[in-house]
Amino acid sequence: MAHFILDERLERDSVSIARLGLSDVRLAKDSRWPWIILVPQRANVSEIFDLEADDQAELAREQARIGHLLKDMTGASKINIAAIGNMVRQLHVHVVARFEGDANWPGPIWGHGQPAAYDEQAFETLKAKLQKALAA
């Protein structure tokens, strides 16, 4: 069985904040949107349909859980969930809180502007809030 290795771009652009049954829960370092990335801990998987049926169901549950959490925590107008993977082939699912009037609303977040780094305190505060909610 192949060993899971996190793609270096996901490692660089996000921080692990929790672990669910299947996925590493990662907070994106881009402050323009509250943005979680779920990375299923399975080697050599690039598409959701590459997962075993049980893992597909677990990933769907995890996406819903994170989507609910972000919507409740942020009051977002909309939660965007996508597994695109054109730049990073390793399977990962973006769960992004969107707000009317945010950067590029109502357009997609991809290809818009440049990432904006968090203030360190703001990042740590959001991280702790998410971790507390996930532990509940």
Q: What is the pLDDT of residues 34-86, one digit of tens each?
A: 999 999 999 999 999 999 999 999 999 999 999 999 999 999 999 999 999 88
28 phi/psi in degrees, rounded to 5? -65, 145
For 88-131, the pLDDT digits (tens) are 999 999 999 999 999 899 999 988 899 999 999 999 999 999 99
pLDDT surpassing 90 at residue 14: yes
Establish whether the linkage from the previous residue to 40 is cis, with ω within 30° of 0.
no
57 phi/psi in degrees, rounded to 5? -65, -40
pLDDT surpassing 80 at residue 1: no
pLDDT for residue 45? 96
Query: Could you write out the three-class secondary structure of 3-38?
Result: CCCCCHHHHHHEEEEEECCCEEEEEECECCCCEEEE
Cβ neighbour number for residue 20 with a 10 Å cutoff: 17
pLDDT for residue 103? 86
pLDDT for residue 2? 80
pTM for the complete prediction?
Answer: 0.96
What distance in Å separates the CA atoms of residue 18 and residue 134, rounded to the nearest whole number?
A: 8
**Residue 74's Cα: distance from chain center in Å?**
15
